[in-house]
Chain A
């Protein structure tokens, strides 16, 4: 039997009959949506137990399926709809997926031989690495989604009249949190399946009267590149940015652009391991803290781990620790892991380094985790190294700003090109997202391990190949 509902994003909206979803086919009120979700969840109860996989597209049908699966207390894996067939097949096998939704409205039932007991705690599983096809997932209890959606809605002041467009993929923690935090506040989602660089997107944005816009750093560099101005879109009130560090120049640019139209530009800091978001830097608090990551969301708090000692004293540099109900249960690599106990207990070692100031604002300085962002998408650098090692060894990968930098030993220019093309194609990203550098020898620590700090310095010295804006200014 499935577990009882722990997170019902429609709870609040049902007290009104406001707009919940709008797309090119029509408008759906919260009453319409609840009806569709109730009837879909009855269908799901009839299906066999086990994990549901959603290849999440921004459609009414996919959202109804997601809400129905939540309602029936299922464990749900959200995955990129563009995933390769073998990646999907691997997820289905490892996690004992019994129901697969998408692409389109297709539901595929997968036969499992033995019984597939549901985990005692219903979970949402989100991928740890965008496109490398790694089956490693972050385990979030439904209650973490509820906690995070509510605190985000409260911090941003999301109200009944707000409309957010789907600017980010819904299987991505930040994109999912836009959906959850809006529905939970009784606000609406505009399902727009066009990129922000298209005329269709902005026509729909204006037509649906969108009030907010969520983007990762790469989204904001695109907007800056196309000389976007909020004055062209009078319904826009709030822009939020999360998913990595945005340069201070762009933070200032969007803060003042939104200020001019008396709107808000809100920087947030988060991780999939904490459902989506941990900190907020409200518009009004920006001026004195232009490069801060913000303060902990309501219900959360930060501390700093320095020399094996945890403290909330200001101005101590160390690894940032976050406490909150939105922290994951742990990671999973297969079905058995879904039954593991909570390995975090509401405490997350973020892997990011920095310090807190006397008012509790967080200032990040670096990252310990082996993760890069490529055009906004999270990529596990160890996965990249494994892919690269099939071409040449020794090889090491590190993070540039919004791209991956791969180092290998030698001077073989042809090999560099091959490596670049291979990695770009395996990750499914544009070639400009991968930079390859040659070195006479990879720098090593005394322990014989690769000196990633040194490689990071080398990587920072080289500007991202696609981002010419930074050279010009």
Chain B
């Protein structure tokens, strides 16, 4: 059975024209010398031709009219690439990466690496002064970077729009 399947697979590839030149010459020889291969080839070739000859199904006569009536209610949506700008996506990604990195750096800065290991946590949360989190130079600097990134993004969007209007004009 496996051998038969193997023969069929090779013959289908041969019929479809997907065999390599070496495989083709080997199958050519087998078709001339081996009756089993020859019979199987004719059997599959017949099915192949029948499938090619099979007729297409036809929808109702009103099909095109129905479609045209439906699309009359719609307009073509703008191309996705026009409103999903890769630069904007990268900008948003950069914003969040900066945000996460900033918080990680700040978090690690809070860790007392010299503390005794009697506590399971290296950070004593009771000693973290949360009131200072949003009131020190590091966070202020971090927020400034984010604001700058936001302005760069805005500038890009406006520049793209200007470019588009110039092209249309």
Do A and B pair up? The answer is no
Query: Chain A interface (Cβ within 8 Å of chain B)?
Result: none
Query: Chain B interface (Cβ within 8 Å of chain A)?
Result: none
